[in-house]
Amino acid sequence: MNKEQALAVFESYSIRRIYDEPSETWFFSVVDVVAALTDSVNPRDYWFKMKIRVNTEGGLELSTICRQLKMKAPDGKMRETDCADVQGLLRIIQSIPSPKAEPFKQWLAKVGYERIQDMSDPARSLDRAREYWQQHGRSEKWIQQRMMGQETRNKLTDYWKDHEINGEDEYAILTNIIHQEWSGVSVKKHKDIKGLKTQNLRDHMSEAELIFTALAELSTRQIAETVEATGMVRNAEAGKTGGKIAQKARLELEQKTGRSVVTGENFLPPSSSRKELKGHDDEPR
């Protein structure tokens, strides 16, 4: 199956999902949905007990409407977890007593069909992203920088894809090399500094952090194109060189301003720490 992974956000909860191109269907992580609807401190345990209860009460095996698919766990590894399409989730939601059920159904109806709309009109996804950031208080200047950075990122990953870089794991390794070089910290450490867990780091970067990330990735791509880098070793070398270019600019700016570019500032809501996903239904391999 050709799958594209992405995160969707309901309230402050991240819902992992996979899009299956052949069937044009989104599959969502059930345990993430359970966490969002119940606020349970252990959604994995809640889901396990719920399957037993529903089976006992009505004879329905909820597992039969789920599929085991690999999704990225909080530790960054790909692990199998129960997933369901929109129809399956609607059945599961019926068995969860939650005041969020109806709002979630409306949200699900919207995000469940976003990818189909995006395929016919890619501008929809850009407009939706801009609207999302506006609703969360981002300035127009920040939004423009975020979108420019994403375009720079897309061009780099397109190059990698055409030059023997395969899969999300290799993308993540190269991304971390570039990030470590320009910022002086790994992606994970940068997220820790900002107090992030499942959130997207770039969505919580300052304007300066976005600019230096884009500079590092732009430099990396242009260097890779110049030397025709192919495979992990050559692209890693290009990543280190590109990252060092942005690092030099960062250090010069910090010397002039007396302020660190890498910052703990973020856009987390005050209640975010209470709503982080816990206990994902992810079994170690």
pLDDT in tens, 254-278: 999 999 999 999 998 765 443 443 3
**Does residue 145 carry a pLDDT above 80?**
yes
241 is a domain residue: yes
**Does residue 32 carry a pLDDT above 90?**
yes
Q: Tell which of 97, 120, 143 closes a domain.
A: 120
278 is a domain residue: no
Residues 114 and 143 in one domain: no
What CA–CA distance (Å, rounded) separates 272 from 197?
10
215 is a domain residue: yes
Q: Tell which of 74, 89, 120 closes a domain.
A: 120
What CA–CA distance (Å, rounded) separates 154 from 126?
13
Cβ atoms within 10 A of the Cβ of 183, count? 23
What's the pLDDT at 119?
Answer: 46
Residues 76 and 196 in one domain: no
Residues 190 and 128 in one domain: yes
CB-side neighbour CA atoms (13 Å) of 253: 16
262 is a domain residue: no
Residue type, 265: E
Query: What 8-state DSSP symbol labels residue 73?
Result: -
Mean pLDDT of 207-214: 97
Residues 156 and 77 in one domain: no
76 is a domain residue: yes
What value does the mean pLDDT of the chain take?
84
What's the pLDDT at 283?
Answer: 36
Longest Cα–Cα distance of the chain, Å, equals 69
Number of compact structural domains in the chain: 2
281 is a domain residue: no
What's the pLDDT at 205?
Answer: 95
Q: What percent of the chain has pLDDT over 70?
A: 84
270 is a domain residue: no
Give me the residues paired with residue 70 across strands: 80
Residues 149 and 89 in one domain: no
Distances (CA, A) of 83 to 33, 59, 65, 70, 256: 10, 20, 9, 9, 51
285 is a domain residue: no
Burial of 149 (0-12, 13-18, 19+ CB in 10 A): buried
Residues 152 and 235 in one domain: yes
Residues 114 and 141 in one domain: no
* Least confident span in 28-42, 98-112, 247-261: 98-112
CB 13 within 8 A of CB 35: yes
Highest-scoring range by mean pLDDT, 3-12, 61-70, 109-118: 61-70
Q: What would the pLDDT profile of 149-199 be if each residue is shown by its tens digit? A: 989 998 999 999 999 998 778 999 999 999 999 999 999 999 999 998 878
What's the pLDDT at 59?
Answer: 63
Residues 134 and 113 in one domain: no
Residues 76 and 92 in one domain: yes
Q: Taking Cα atoms as reference points, which of 25, 55, 74, 36 lies closest to residue 280?
A: 74
Question: Helix (H) and strand (E) counts for the chain?
Answer: 11, 5
**Which residue has better confidence, 199 or 247?**
247
Residues 63 and 133 in one domain: no
Q: At what angle do helices 43-58 and 30-38 cross, to 10 degrees?
A: 100
Binned at pLDDT 50, 70 and 90, residue 77 comes out as confident
Q: Tell which of 120, 140, 161 closes a domain.
A: 120
Q: Write out the residue range of the structural domain in which residue 85 sits.
A: 3-120
pTM of the full structure: 0.57
